[in-house]
Structure 1
């Protein structure tokens, strides 16, 4: 093999190396999407930016603090996210870490939305109180731990059965994580907003409270009136019709990348907002 051929082999090897690294990074980001690790990643970027600014402008004290945060932060990350690392290694061992495709995920989301709509319609007609919170980008692991772990496939029958009065799991919220019922009978933080209508009870305050600290979407069925409400981004939408509920869930969960801000703008003037 000539010297020129050897250079070509090295050049091609470098290209393959770079492509493989980008592929692994892309898949890793897709894997942590929807978990608390996303917020952690944002925090790391903020610390790095502050460290860079402190070095440029000679802010020695601030730079020392950021350096300590970086030095000890990686150890803290390993301790805090030990369950996530363990799950990733287990899936890597099973060969399932990179197996999810966009089409299958969209199909699962569609089935989940239809199950929620069907269950909500059934419970609203019979005035069965319900509280269903759907995790999005911000992780809800802390709130899942307050309830009874299920890790079950989302179905209308399961949701209805959970909220039937006088059953062990009916009191509390159901949290859906990654298209599965993660837990039931969960405790959500109550909103302390003074602008909430006095006629609304604990379910609505809990739904509004979780929307203030996460980007989740929460569906509420009133036990007193059978009316359907929904919270997102710290706002409460009351008296939502089934068509409006279907439109919002489909836009926000299934087609968020296509609808962008148009869906939110259209939604804001079509429902009654309170809180």
Structure 2
């Protein structure tokens, strides 16, 4: 069979199989990109591309020693990828095992998410009105275990009462950040990295710098309540959203934490006074 015959001798079944094959490859690539998006793995992936390009350049230019070194890196790259991308690979396998690649959220999950949002809004409303400083970080795709280990383990369900008690001034845990992992309060009094950006307003304190610093190196969401003004802010992906009303805070938190799929679900609608509207 000639090369041209390979493109002309197509049956409808072959065409269908090839289309399905291409779509499946595209879907796998899309899911891989979605898994590593917003994580440190993106930067590592860029590093791998740089090594591949360097290997091609050394082959063209004739740099034998450097080319040999690049080739050794590529030869052992498979093992390195397993080690470097271990959190992302584990998360992908967990999603496959739980059937979450295609599954939509169940009603029970939506109710639990609403409960979590309500607890967060109620506690933040209470602290904002009384100007109780707070710093709460929510883990998403990038793991926060390194920062959790700097604090005091709690491993408790999320309740507004517990969040408020943690940040009451002059209590052992009020300094530092609370970190939420897998919809549970993992630890309190955690240390977060401070942002070194020169563009941060001078009026912002350590809490805001810590929230921005974490958002610059991870995809975590961080809630900040100012001790001086009671203003509520959110940080994510290096962006700071300041002076949010209760409606804006709840809406942004829902979208950032769980995505737009529950945007139309029941809203808690708490006022800064801690009372429910309606």
Task: Specify the alignment match of 1:51 in structure 2.
Answer: 52
Choose the corresponding residue for 2:165, options 146, 161, 164. 161
Choose the corresponding residue for 1:116, options 114, 117, 120. 120
Q: Distance in 2 between matches of 1:159 and 1:66?
A: 51
Q: Does 1:255 align with 2:259?
A: yes
Q: Distance in 2 between matches of 1:227 and 1:243?
A: 13
Task: Give me the TM-score of the superposition, normalised by structure 2.
Answer: 0.65
- Structure 1 residue 115, shift from structure 2 partner: 1.7
Q: Does 1:188 align with 2:189?
A: no
More helix by share: 1
- Structure 1 residue 109, shift from structure 2 partner: 3.4
Q: Does 1:98 align with 2:98?
A: yes
CA RMSD of aligned residues (A): 4.2
Task: Specify the alignment match of 2:220 in structure 1.
Answer: 216
- Structure 1 residue 102, shift from structure 2 partner: 3.8
Task: Specify the alignment match of 1:132 in structure 2.
Answer: 136
- Structure 1 residue 203, shift from structure 2 partner: 0.8
- Tell which structure's C-alpha radius of gyration is larger: 2
Task: Specify the alignment match of 2:230 in structure 1.
Answer: 226
Contact 1:146 1:187 in 2 (8 A): yes
- Structure 1 residue 195, shift from structure 2 partner: 2.9
Higher relative contact order (CA 8 A, sep 6+): 2
Question: Pairwise mapping of residues 172-187 of structure 1 onto structure 2 (< 5 A)?
Answer: 172-187=176-191
Q: Distance in 2 between matches of 1:53 and 1:82?
A: 25
Secondary structure of 1:103's match? coil
Q: Distance in 2 between matches of 1:124 and 1:242?
A: 10
- Structure 1 residue 46, shift from structure 2 partner: 5.7
Q: Distance in 2 between matches of 1:42 and 1:234?
A: 16
- Structure 1 residue 50, shift from structure 2 partner: 4.9
Secondary structure of 2:120's match? helix
- Structure 1 residue 221, shift from structure 2 partner: 0.6
Contact 2:139 2:179 in 1 (8 A): yes
Task: Specify the alignment match of 1:141 in structure 2.
Answer: 145
Residues 1:201 and 1:145: Cα distance change in structure 2 (over 3 Å) = same
Q: Which runs of 5+ in 2 are unaligned?
A: 1-20, 264-278
- Structure 1 residue 198, shift from structure 2 partner: 2.6
Contact 1:35 1:138 in 2 (8 A): no
Contact 1:110 1:254 in 2 (8 A): no
Task: Specify the alignment match of 2:13 in structure 1.
Answer: none
Secondary structure of 2:219's match? coil
Contact 1:109 1:253 in 2 (8 A): no
Q: Which runs of 5+ in 1 are unaligned?
A: 1-17, 260-275
